Structure 1
Amino acid sequence: MSPRFTEKGYFIALGMEGSANKIGMGIIKHISTANTWTDALREMNDTGKAIVMANVRHTFVPPAGHGFLPREVADHHRKHVVKLAKEAIDCAGISYTDIDCICFTQGPGMGAPLQTVVLCARTLSLMWDKPLIGVNHCVGHIEMGREITGALNPVVLYVSGGNTQVIAYSHHRYQIFGETLDIAVGNCLDRFARTMKISNDPNPGYNIELLARVGAQSGQLVDLPYTVKGMDLSMSGVLAFIDQLAAANKYSVETLCFSLQETIFAMLVEITERAMAHVDAADVLIVGGVGCNERLQEMMHIMCKARGGSVYATDERFCIDNGIMIAQAGLLAYRSGFTTPIENSECTQRFRTDEVYVDWRY
C-alpha cells in the first residue's frame, strides 16, 4: 500500500457505526502537511490532534426485562441512518465534496444491524464517488481512546456488550493477551438487568452502576464465583449463580448489583495487571461501553497507581459505540493507503482484533 498525502492541508472522514443497538455518524478531520511517509507516520502517531467535527447517534431502547433482537435493531437503524448522516454533515458545516473517505463498521457485531450500515456506506460511496474503508469495531474503540486520552502505548482493556479483551500493541498488530471464554462483561451485566427487570434507559449497565453505589453503602458483599484462568476469564458461571440468588430473594437488588460489579471487575483488573507485567507496561487504557463505569475506572486506578502507572478512560461520548471512532480508525487506515473495494465490503459477525494490520503505528 502507498501512503496518501494531501495538498489541501487536511483529510476528512465520515464514519458509520451500527454493530449493536446504536446507530452513529461521526466526522473527523486530520490536519496534515506531510509529504513523506516518515512525516505522515509522525503525524498519525501524535495523538490529540484530530478535530471532532460531528458525533451524533441514536439508541434502540427495549422495554425493561427485554433484550434487543437483530431484526428490531436493524429496523431502528434503517429509520434513523439517513437523518443522522444529514445531521452529521450539517453539524460539521461541510459539504459531501469535502469528505475524503466513507468509513464503516465491517465487524464484529450483530449481522442485521451491520448490514444496514454496510448498505448505507456503499450507497454513499457510489453516490459521492468516495472510497470505502472497512473498520474493525474493536480497533475503532482503541484508536479513538488513544486519540482522546493521549495514551501512547498502554495495555488496553476492551470491555463492551459483545467483547472482553486485554490487548497490547506489538509489531503492527493489536495482540490479544486475554479474553472471555464465554460471554462478555457487558452481556453479563445486561442479562442480569433483564433478570431483575432493571431499566434499559439509558442503558442497563449504567443503571446497575447506580444501584451498586447504593449497595456499596451497606458493605455487604455476597460471595460469588470468581473464575480467572491464566489470562482469560469466564462469566457465565457468576451470572448463573447470581440469577439463582435473585430467584431466592435473599438479597436486595442493590446488594446483588454491588456484588456482581465488584467480582467481575476484580477479575478484569487481575488479568489486566498480568498482561501489564508480561509486556512491562505501566499504563492502562479502558475502552468500550463498560469502560464508562466509574467503579471499574477506580479499581483500575488503584492497581495502576500501585505499579507507578496511570489509567486512561473517556466518557460516554467516546466509550459507548459511536461513529467518530470508526471515522478515526478508518482515516488512519486510509492515510496509510488502505481502501476496501466495494466487492469486499461485506460485513462479518466475527472479526478478530488481531486480524487487522496496523500500518499507521510505529
Structure 2
Amino acid sequence: MPGRIRKSPLETPERPYLALGLEGSANKFGAGIIRHSKDGSTSVLSNIRHTYITPPGEGFQPRDTALHHREWALKIIKRCIAQAGVSIQELDCICYTKGPGMGAPLQSVAIIARIISLLFDKPLVGVNHCVGHIEMGREITGAQNPVVLYVSGGNTQVIAYSRQCYRIFGETLDIAVGNCLDRFARVIDLSNDPSPGYNIEQEAKKGKRLLPLPYATKGMDVSLSGILTSTEAYTSDKRFRPDGIRKGTEDDDIITPADLCFSLQETVFAMLVEITERAMAHIGSKEVLIVGGVGCNERLQEMMGIMASERGGQVFATDERFCIDNGIMIAQAGLLAFRMGQTTPLSESTCTQRFRTDEVHVAWRA
C-alpha cells in the first residue's frame, strides 16, 4: 500500500523526484516506484513482486529463474505503474540491481532496464543489492548510524558506515545463512512456498530438543558449511523420525525434523548475534539494523533484541514488504545516487555477480 515514511536523508529537494526500481538478483522479480517530495519526505507509491517457487526438495536454477523474470517483468511493471498513478514519462530515472546475485536473472533485469531507458530516454542507475537493503531499512525504521546485519540467501555480512562507504566488519567464510537454511529445508522436504526459510522458522517453533552442533565464529566472521553438514548427518541417525511423531512419554531420545530446525536456527542465530555484538562494541554503536530476507525471522529479531537491550541499545527491522528482496529498495538507493549526480552509462549497464558492498561510493551520506 502507498504510504508516507519519513524525512529524506538528503536535504530538501528543489522539486519532487520519481524513480522506478527493478530487482531480480535471485528468485523474486520486483518493481517499485518511490517519490522524494519537495518537503523532504519519501513516499512508497507502489511495491510489487512475484516469486519463482520450485517443488519441495528443489532449488531454483539460474536459467529457469531468468525465464521466470522475463515472463513476469511486463506484468509486474504495468501493475507497479498503475498502482503508483504515474506515467513512465514522469520518472527521473530507471534503477536496476547491478549485483550481487545470480548471473542469468541479473542479466534479464538489466536488459529490461536498458529497454525502458532507451524507449523513454531515461537515465539508468545501477544499484548494489546490499546497499538497497540498507538504505530502505534506514528509511523505513529511522535508524541513524546502525551496525547492519545483512542476512539473505546469498549474503551474510556485518556492516557499518564510515567515510562514504559501507565497511564490511565480518561475513560468512563459506555459505550464506539463507543458503544454509534453504539447503536444509530441501533435505527434509519442506515446501518452498512461500519460502524454505519461513517454513524452517515455523517448524522450529515445534522443536523440543537443542542438539549439539558446531559453533564457528572467527572474530567477526562465521562459517556455516560445517553446521549444515552436521545437521544433515542427524537425518541418518537411527533416532531420527522423519514423520516427526513421538509415540510415547519415554521417547525423549527421538529426533524430529522440528528438533533439527530448532537446533539449527538457535545455533546459527547465536553466532550472528555474537559477531554483531562484537561489531557494536568495536565502533561504539547502540543501534542494530537487520536487513535481508532472513531478517524477517522473528526469532532472530528476538535474540538480537535481547542482546541489544543488555547493551542499552535498540534493534531496527522491517516486515516482509521491505525485508524480502523488492523493487522499492532498488528505487530508493538508486534515487539517492541519482540526486548526487550518479548515473550508469548505457555502455556500463552490466551486471556484477560479486559486487561487494564496500565497493560503493555512498555519496549521499556526509
> Shorter-normalised TM-score: what interval?
over 0.9
1:14 equivalenced with 2:20 (yes/no):
yes
- Decide which of 128, 135, 142 is 1:143's aligned counterpart: 135
Deviations 1:113-163 (A, max 9, x none): 001100000000000100000000000000000000000000000000000
Q: CA deviation at 1:296?
A: 0.1
Q: Is the 8 A contact 1:4 1:335 kept in 2?
A: no
Match for 2:172 among 151, 167, 180?
Answer: 180
Q: Which residue does the alignment assign to 1:36?
A: none
Query: In structure 2, what is the Cα distance between the partners aligned to 1:163 and 1:319?
Result: 14
TM-score, normalization: structure 2?
0.92
The correspondence for 1:225, drawn from 209, 214, 230, is: 214
- Distance in 2, matches of 1:23 and 1:249, equals 42
Mapped partners of 2:205, 2:13: distance in 1: 50
In the other structure, the counterpart of 1:134 is: 126
Separation (CA, whole Å) in 2 of partners of 1:69 and 1:121:
22
Match of 2:158 in 1: 166
Aligned match of 1:29: 35
- Residue identity matched to 1:16: L
The one-letter amino acid of 2:264's match is L
**Aligned residue runs from structure 1 range 208-247, under 5 A:** 208-215=200-207, 218=208, 220-247=209-236
Q: 2:302 aligns with which of 298, 301, 320?
A: 298
The answer for the alignment partner of 2:149 in structure 1 is: 157
Whether the 8 Å contact between 2:13 and 2:37 is mirrored in structure 1 is: no
Cα separation, 2, equivalents of 1:310 and 1:192: 31
Q: Deviation digits for residues 245-295 of structure 1, max 9, x if unmatched?
A: 112253100000000000000000000000000000011000000000000
Kindly indicate which of the two structures has a greater share of residues assigned to helix. Answer: 1
Question: Runs of 5+ in structure 2 lacking a partner?
Answer: 1-9, 240-254
Deviation at 1:32, TM superposition (A): 2.8
Contact 1:159 1:184 in 2 (8 A): yes
- Are the structure 2 counterparts of residues 6 and 276 from structure 1 closer, same or farther at C-alpha, using a change threshold of 3 Å? closer
Amino acid at match of 2:201: E
Runs (5+) with no aligned partner, structure 1: 34-42, 44-48
1:340-362 Cα deviation digits (max 9, x unpaired): 00000001101000000000012
Matches for 1:343-354 after TM superposition, within 5 Å: 343-354=347-358
Following TM superposition, the consecutive aligned residue runs of length 4 or more in structure 1 with deviations greater than 4 angstroms are 3-7
Query: TM-score, with normalisation over the residues of structure 1?
Result: 0.93
Please give the root-mean-square deviation of Cα atoms over the aligned residues, in Å.
1.3
How many residues are matched? Answer: 342
Residue 323 (structure 2) aligned to one of 310, 319, 324? 319
